Amino acid sequence: MRSDKPLRGVLFDLDGTLVDSAADLQGTLNRLLPEYGLRPLTLDEVKAKIGDGVAKLVERAFIATGGDLAKVDAAARRFLALYEGHAAALTVAYPGVRDTLMQLQARGLVLAVVTNKPLAATQEILAALDLARFFAAVVGGDSAPRRKPHPDPIIKALADAGLKADEAMMVGDNYHDIEAAHAAGVEAIIVTYGYSHKPPLETGADHVVDTMPEIVPLIARSRS
C-alpha cells in the first residue's frame, strides 16, 4: 500500500520501535506474579508477550505460569498500579531514535505516537527520555475504542495530528502495527528489531528496515 502523495507525517509505535521497555515490563510482571503464587518470567519470555496492551500481556503471563485466567482483569489493574510511575526506570530509546526524530522534524514532518500501552505510561516514558517534544499527537491503548490491529488508534492519531492517511507512514515492529496501518489506508514500515510475533518479512509491510535511521533515506526516496 504505497501513496504518491507527498509525505507530511510519520506515526510511530512505542514499545519495540522507539523504546526498549522490556526490562521495566519484566520487573513489574515479576512483582505481580508472586502475589498470585506464580513464578517469575525471564526477559525473553516477556519480550514474546509484548505488543497487545496490558490485559493481553498479563493474560499471556498467566498462561505461561499456570495462573487462573479468571483473575486476569484484576491482575491487569494491579499491574498498572505497580507500573505507572515506574515505567521508565530501565526503559531506553533504541540507537538512532532521537537523531532520526530530529531529522524528520527538521524536514517539517508531523510526528505522532500510536501504541497499545496505556496513555499515562506512554507519556511518562516519552517525558523521561526527552522524546515528548517531538510528537504533535500521542495515542495510547486506552485513547480509542479499540487497540491495534484495529485501525481506530491510527485514525485518531491522524485526526489529532491533522494528517490524511495518504500523507502519512506508520513505523512499527509487529504485525498489528502493519495491519492497523493498512486498515486505515496508511503505508507501513516495519523494523526488524523489537518484539515481533512473526518474521518481519511475513507481516505485509511496505518497507523493512533494520535500524531506525534507515527510515530517513527511505522516506526521501519513496515519498519525495
List the domains of the chain with CATH numbers.
Answer: 9-20+90-222 (3.40.50.1000), 22-83 (1.10.150.240)
Q: Residue 2: its pLDDT value, please? A: 73
Q: Residue 224: its pLDDT value, please? A: 61
By annotation, the residues acting in catalysis are 13
Minimal CA–CA distance to 116: which of 179, 165, 67?
A: 179
The whole-angstrom separation of Cα 3 and Cα 6 is 8
**Per the structure block, which three cell numbers stand in for 107?**
524536514
Q: Note the pLDDT tens digit of each residue in 50-109.
A: 988 999 999 999 999 999 999 999 999 999 999 999 999 999 999 999 999 999 999 999
Q: Which residues of the chain have pLDDT under 70?
A: 223-224
Residue type, 208: V
The whole-angstrom separation of Cα 204 and Cα 62 is 30
